[in-house]
């Protein structure tokens, strides 16, 4: 664990407690930094939030804008969560900001969770560094998420809504959509990804209640892959653009949402094209070409991929991406899977059932599912599955059995451990 994460875990409650009261009090003690930000694009959704933030940031930076970004969770270093005008916050700057957050808490006699403290630190740092735009990702849900102290975003973006974090957001699409739609604000346009009918009805109802005009994928605009590139169309324009540099068919939808947001920001077509080519977002169908695991795979003439998706919706996207690659370049496939114990492992493997792959299950630091239990779930969905214990052992077994394509997947925490094994693979 990196030193900043250790500091936060030692000094703040690690529970998740969705409420804005503590966050509002903490922000007030800090001078309400959320009201002193550059124009904000606020992004919620079940899947694709981080990729969409990365795409919007890449396009805006290609247009010459200085862009702050706040995302979660981090993969290797806590600093990844706070990007100031394009650069990750330094350890010294982050520690100084956290000192001020903790001093404000002490003055008010209040308490804040790790995520609330982190968010307050991010808002404070971004309020004091010059920039032209801030792109802020919701942590969990929307309406009661700590980031929702932002009262006047320039744009609200809602990526695809599906079931996840049932213990906090409920077990119905309508309930989850209601939480996500809580970021919609009066007068701020909402850019909405393609949704199920049930989710869209809830989002439209919330938008009407608060007075947020909507721009909806599949209604007001669309994007799709064509001739090796991406086509974007809305009521006013037809753009022939490069494919996004992020792997997977689902990234065309994420890119479409980001393009719609960029056009609302009046960013030029040239910057959109450049941003699509330049975007980077680790652990989302990322091809690993450096580090000890990649070295092993390369010696065996195998591809190695890393994906942090951890719910059924993300698994469906992974299945599509792997199917597409298998059509283009057939190879024996192995999945190295580790998941948090509270995730829907059955739904995850169910979504992957169309993939012909050997599964190896692994553990990682934290509240991970036991590899044996995870292997049993995979076997129940028709996979040949073995508990391998560690990524190292799983990769050795997969390569020994002749796998030519190995995908490490199931958790961003697992992905972070993999990336953390070599400085060459640390996100920057």
pLDDT at 106: 87
pLDDT in tens, 338-379: 999 989 999 999 999 989 999 999 999 878 999 999 999 999
pLDDT in tens, 157-192: 999 998 765 555 557 899 999 999 999 999 999 999
Q: How far apart are CA 203 and CA 316, in angstroms?
A: 23
Phi then psi dihedrals of residue 364, to 5 deg = -155, 170
Q: To the nearest whole number, what is the mean pLDDT of the chain? A: 94
Residue 318 sits in the same domain as residue 263: no
Domain holding 82: CATH number?
3.40.1190.10
Are β-strands 333-337 and 303-307 bridged in parallel, bridged antiparallel, or unpaired?
unpaired
Residue 112 sits in the same domain as residue 30: yes
Helix (H, G, I), strand (E, B) or coil at 209: helix
pLDDT at 107: 83
Average pLDDT estimate for 386-415: 96
Q: How far apart are CA 176 and CA 399, in angstroms?
A: 40
Domain boundary among 217, 243, 278: 278
Q: How far apart are CA 201 and CA 224, in angstroms?
A: 24
pLDDT at 208 over 90: yes
pLDDT at 167: 55
User: How far apart are the two ends of the chain, measured CA to CA in Å?
Assistant: 17
Residue 164 sits in the same domain as residue 268: yes
Domain boundary among 248, 278, 308: 278
Average pLDDT estimate for 104-129: 91
pLDDT at 389: 82
Residue 272 sits in the same domain as residue 290: no
Domain holding 339: CATH number?
3.90.190.20
Residue 292 sits in the same domain as residue 269: no
Name residues whose C-beta falls within 8 Å of residue 32's C-beta, 6 or more positions apart in sequence: none
Task: State the DSSP code for 217.
Answer: B
Residue 316 sits in the same domain as residue 218: no
Residue 247 sits in the same domain as residue 294: no
pLDDT at 111: 81
pLDDT at 165: 53
pLDDT at 5 over 90: no
Residue 335 sits in the same domain as residue 250: no
Q: Which of 261, 307, 267 is nearest to 284 (CA)?
A: 307
pLDDT at 422 over 90: yes
Average pLDDT estimate for 232-257: 96
Helix (H) or strand (E) holding 141: none
Phi then psi dihedrals of residue 380, to 5 deg = -65, -20
- Chain centroid to CA 308: how far? 9
User: 245 near 207, Cβ under 8 Å?
Assistant: no
More confident: 112 or 51 = 51
Q: How far apart are CA 393 and CA 370, in angstroms?
A: 15
Q: Which of 153, 168, 165, 167 is nearest to 123 (CA)?
A: 153
Helix (H, G, I), strand (E, B) or coil at 243: coil
Q: b/e for 176-199, b at 16 or more Cβ within 10 A?
A: bbbbbbbbbbeebbbbbbbbeeeb
Residue 81 sits in the same domain as residue 147: yes
User: 298 near 404, Cβ under 8 Å?
Assistant: no
Lowest-confidence segment of 8-17, 56-65, 130-139, 182-191 by average pLDDT = 8-17
Name residues whose C-beta falls within 8 Å of residue 5's C-beta, 6 or more positions apart in sequence: 74, 78
State the CB neighbour count (10 A cutoff) for residue 175.
14
Structural domain including 381 reads 286-425
Average pLDDT estimate for 215-221: 98
Average pLDDT estimate for 397-426: 97
Residue 227 sits in the same domain as residue 376: no
User: Could you give the number of structural domains in the chain?
Assistant: 2
- Chain centroid to CA 73: how far? 8
Q: Which residues pair with 233 in a beta bridge?
A: 222, 238
pLDDT at 257: 98
Residue 111 sits in the same domain as residue 195: yes
CB hemisphere CA count around 317 (13 angstroms):
25
CA distances from 282 to 67, 250, 351, 382, 408 (A): 19, 15, 22, 30, 13
Average pLDDT estimate for 96-110: 90
pLDDT at 245: 97
Phi then psi dihedrals of residue 158, to 5 deg = -120, 115
Q: What are the structure tokens assigned to 336, written together? A: 């190295």
Domain boundary among 229, 260, 278: 278
pLDDT-derived band at 423 (thresholds 50, 70, 90) equals: very high
Q: Which of 198, 142, 208, 140 is nearest to 173 (CA)?
A: 198
Average pLDDT estimate for 28-45: 97
Residue 16 sits in the same domain as residue 107: yes
Average pLDDT estimate for 263-283: 97
């Amino acid at each position: 664990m990196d030193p900043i994460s250790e500091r936060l875990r030692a000094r703040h409650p690690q529970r998740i407690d969705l409420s804005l009261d503590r966050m509002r009090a903490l922000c007030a003690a800090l001078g309400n930094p959320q009201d002193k930000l550059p124009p904000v694009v606020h992004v919620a959704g079940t899947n694709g939030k981080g990729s969409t933030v990365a795409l919007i940031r890449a396009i805006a930076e290609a247009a010459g804008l200085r862009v702050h970004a706040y995302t979660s969770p981090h993969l290797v270093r806590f600093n990844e969560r706070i990007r100031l005008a394009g650069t990750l916050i330094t350890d010294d700057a982050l520690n100084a900001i956290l000192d001020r957050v903790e001093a404000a808490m002490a003055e008010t006699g209040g308490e804040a969770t790790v995520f609330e403290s982190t968010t307050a630190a991010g808002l404070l740092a971004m309020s004091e560094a010059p920039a032209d735009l801030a792109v802020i990702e919701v942590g969990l849900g929307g309406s009661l998420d700590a980031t929702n102290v932002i009262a006047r975003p320039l744009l609200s973006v809602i990526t695809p809504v599906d079931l996840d974090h049932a213990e906090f957001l409920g077990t119905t699409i309508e309930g989850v959509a209601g939480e996500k739609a809580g970021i919609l604000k009066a007068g701020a346009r909402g850019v909405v990804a393609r949704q199920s009918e049930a989710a869209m009805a809830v989002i439209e109802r919330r938008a009407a209640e608060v007075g947020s005009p909507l721009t909806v994928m599949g209604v007001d605009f669309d994007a799709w892959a064509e001739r090796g590139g991406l086509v974007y169309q809305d009521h006013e324009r037809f753009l022939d653009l490069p494919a996004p540099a992020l792997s997977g068919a689902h990234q065309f939808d994420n890119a479409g949402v980001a393009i719609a947001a960029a056009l609302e920001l009046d960013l030029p077509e040239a910057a959109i094209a450049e941003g699509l080519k330049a975007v980077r977002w680790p652990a989302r169908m990322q091809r690993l070409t450096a580090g000890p695991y990649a070295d092993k795979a390369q010696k065996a003439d195998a591809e190695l991929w890393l994906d942090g998706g951890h719910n059924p919706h993300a698994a469906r996207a992974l299945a599509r991406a792997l199917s597409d690659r298998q059509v283009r370049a057939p190879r024996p496939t192995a999945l190295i899977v580790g998941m948090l114990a509270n995730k829907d492992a059955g739904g995850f493997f169910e979504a992957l059932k169309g993939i012909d792959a050997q599964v190896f299950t692994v553990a990682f630091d934290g509240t991970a599912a036991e590899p044996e239990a995870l292997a049993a779930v995979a076997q129940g969905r028709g996979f040949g599955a073995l508990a391998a214990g560690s990524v190292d052992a799983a990769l050795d077994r997969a390569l020994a059995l002749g796998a030519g394509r190995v995908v490490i997947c199931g958790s961003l925490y697992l992905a972070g451990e993999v990336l953390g094994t070599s400085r060459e693979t640390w996100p920057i």
